Each structure stands twice: as C-alpha cells, then as structure tokens.
Amino acid sequence: MKLVRNRHTGRFVLMNNIRDERRSDFSRECSEECPFCPGRKEMIEYCRYEEVIDGKWVVRSIDNKYPALICDEERHNSGEIDYGKHEVMIETPNHFKSFFKFDEEEFKYILKMYKSRFIDLENEKMARSVIIYKNHLKSAGASKLHSHSQILSMSFIPPELEREIEMARKGVFTREVNIILESENFISFIPMDSYLSGEIMIKNKKNSRFNTISMDEIEELSVVLKDIFKKIFNVYGEIPFNVYLHSLPEEVDLEDYRWHLHIVPRKGRFGGFEFGTGLYINSLDIKKMYEKFMIEE
C-alpha cells in the first residue's frame, strides 16, 4: 500500500496486492451473498455512519474490507506504506436501485453522508487529501451490483488533483460551455476539451472545498443529480459510469479553485493506443451529445 514512481515513465502507481482478493458479485437477485443488503449484522461493528428513518437505515458507511490504503501510523512513519482510511458508502438498502432511479430525497441522504464522512476523514491526522468516487457496473470498475460509493483519505495529494490545482494556479479553467443545467450554486456542463468521452462536470459556483456545503446546497444538488442522471438514462439507458469528487485540500490556499463532480458515462474503451501514447481519443460528437441532453423529456 505504497505510492511509488515508475522509473521508466515517471508515472505514479499505488502498489496494493490486497484488492486483488475482492470477490465480484453481480447477482440481480438480492441474496445473503450481498454484503450491503439489510440484515447483514456483521456490518454493524464496521459501521462509521448511518442514517435511520422509521427504524430502518437508508444509507450507511462501513470500513472497506479491501482498502487501497490502511491506517497504520507506525508503518507510514517508517516509510513502509502510505497512510489512508477507506470506506464503502452504501447508498440504499435496495439491492436493485441505482442513481438512475433515485429521487431527490435519496440523493439528499447520500450527500449528507458524503459530507459527514468527508469531514471526518479529512480531520484524520495523517490525511492530506480526500476523494469520493463511484463505479457503476462491472465495466466501470464495480465489484458489487448494490449501489455504493467509496471515500478514501490519503497521506498525499493524488496526481490528477495536483494537475487541476496547478492549472487553476495558472488561471486556466475548463470553459463552462454546453450548459445542461444551472441553478443558484451549481453549473452542469459538457466540457469541450474533455479527455474522457461523454464527461459531464457539476461545479460549485462559490466554494473551493466540499466540506463547506450547506444543507440548502445539498437539497439543491440533490435536484441537479436527479435531473442529470435522468438525462443520462434518456440518452444512453443504464450505462456503466464513474463519478468522482474533487475538493481543494486544506493545506492548499487557492481562492479560484471550485470543488466539483466529474460524471463519466463509459462510452469509450482504452486500448493499445491509449496505453502506448498516454493520450485519450474523445470520439464523441460533443455538439450532438449536447443536443440530445437538451431534448425535453
């Protein structure tokens, strides 16, 4: 569980042989095999957050059984490993439901959990950054069908976030064109220069850090997410996708940065060209994609 630099390319890689032991479960039937379904009492001791309505949990966060990083300060200080805390955030007790079918109330519970866990993990003594991410369906990297996201604190700032921070320092920002939705605090758009086909960004207009999100903003973003995923479903159907949230680390002072979400429907695939060149081909006609997203349902 150590961040190392490849001596041939200079690219960073997180070495971890534990996650290769993960079991994949994509049963369409809710069963005792799903560790995220209600009734799994062994989850209680690993539970870090839970929202209960009418005596039943609606969202909960648990320790990740196969963490990308672990909390071991002694081994971190010795240089043996990098430090981090890794949790799985279960977004619904319903085994079959996904972001495409969630309503505003369900997104609100999810975002409240995101904020609570983000603040707790960011306050870890060794944490320098925190990322929230989601993989939907197997081809997007998920090992379980049951809807969940993950949150990870890290004793370093990951390269992708560092690149965003560096571009913001230079005053270079993604152009907010092809605007799909705009509300008081959020703007959702399709970047013209996205290196991932079909990417959508949801950017907060005012704040650089996710931990500042207010209850009003949570309710507002819940509506935005419901509407965005409805549009994605209408255009693509139940497509595999990834979501990740970037927020400015506490140690970085950069007034112009804005926290944001990346939503990436998995339209493209990576092959020899991408691996061999480090370049990504965005083969999507962004103008046509935008037109499809703007069609009223």
In degrees, to the nearest 5, what angle opens at C-alpha 84 toward C-alphas 36 and 266?
55
**Catalytic-labelled residue, pool 76, 86, 136, 148:** 148
Q: Is 37 annotated as a binding residue?
A: yes
Q: Is 76 annotated as a binding residue?
A: no
| Catalytic status, residue 136 | no
Surface-to-core class of residue 83, CB atoms within 10 Å of its CB (0-12 exposed, 13-18 middle, 19+ buried): buried
Q: Is 246 annotated as a binding residue?
A: no
Q: Is 136 annotated as a binding residue?
A: no
Hey, how many other C-beta atoms are within 10 angstroms of the C-beta on 272? Answer: 7
* DSSP per residue, the chain: -EEEE-TTT--EEEE-SSGGGPPPB--SS--TT-TTSTT-GGGGGGEEEEEEETTEEEEEEEE-SS-SSB--HHHHHTTSS-B--EEEEE--S-TT--TTT--HHHHHHHHHHHHHHHHHHHTSTT-SEEEEEEEESGGGT-SBSS-EEEEEEESS--HHHHHHHHHHHTT------SEEEE-SSEEEE--TT-SSTT-EEEEESS-S-GGG--HHHHHHHHHHHHHHHHHHHHHHSS--EEEEEE---TT---TT---EEEEEE------HHHHHHS-----S-HHHHHHHHTS--
Query: Catalytic residue positions?
Result: 148
Q: Binding site residues for Zn(2+), as ranges? A: 34, 37, 95, 146
